[in-house]
Structure 1
Amino acid sequence: MNQRHLITMANQIAVFFETMPDRRQALNDFALHIKRSWEPRMRRELLEYVEKEGGTDLNETAREGIRLHADVIR
C-alpha cells in the first residue's frame, strides 16, 4: 500500500481521538482502532515506517500512539 496514504489515514484517525479528554485513553484507543480496522500488511508497513524513518510525517498523537502501543498494533 502507498505509504503516504497510510500516513494520511493514521493522521485522520489520530485527529478523531485527540478530542478525547483522557490522553492516555485516546492513545490506547487509537492503537486499538488501527489493530481492529487495518489489515496486517497495512499495520506492518506503518510500524516499519515509524521504526525506520521516525514517523516524522505523522501527527504527534499518531506517532505517540504507535510508539507507546506498537505491541497492540502488531
Structure 2
Amino acid sequence: MTAQSTALDTYLQRLPMILDKVEALRQLADDHFGHDPDAIHWGHVGDLGRVDQALDDLLAIFDGQAE
C-alpha cells in the first residue's frame, strides 16, 4: 500500500466527522437551538425552514427520496 490515501480511506475518515455533526445538530434541536421556547418568533420559524430544506437537499444527494 502506498502512502497516498485511497478514496475509501478518505471516506472512512470523513464519515465520523459527519456523524459528529449530525449528533451536534440533534443536541441543538433538543435544546430548541438555544432559543427560549416562550420567545419563539417567525424569524426562528424561517431559520428552521431553511434548515429543513438544506437537510432535504442533502438527503436527495444520497438517496433521491427527499420530499
TM-score, normalising length: structure 1 = 0.31
Larger Rg: 2
Compare relative contact order (CA 8 Å, sep 6+) and give the higher one, 1 or 2: 1
TM-score, normalising length: structure 2 = 0.33
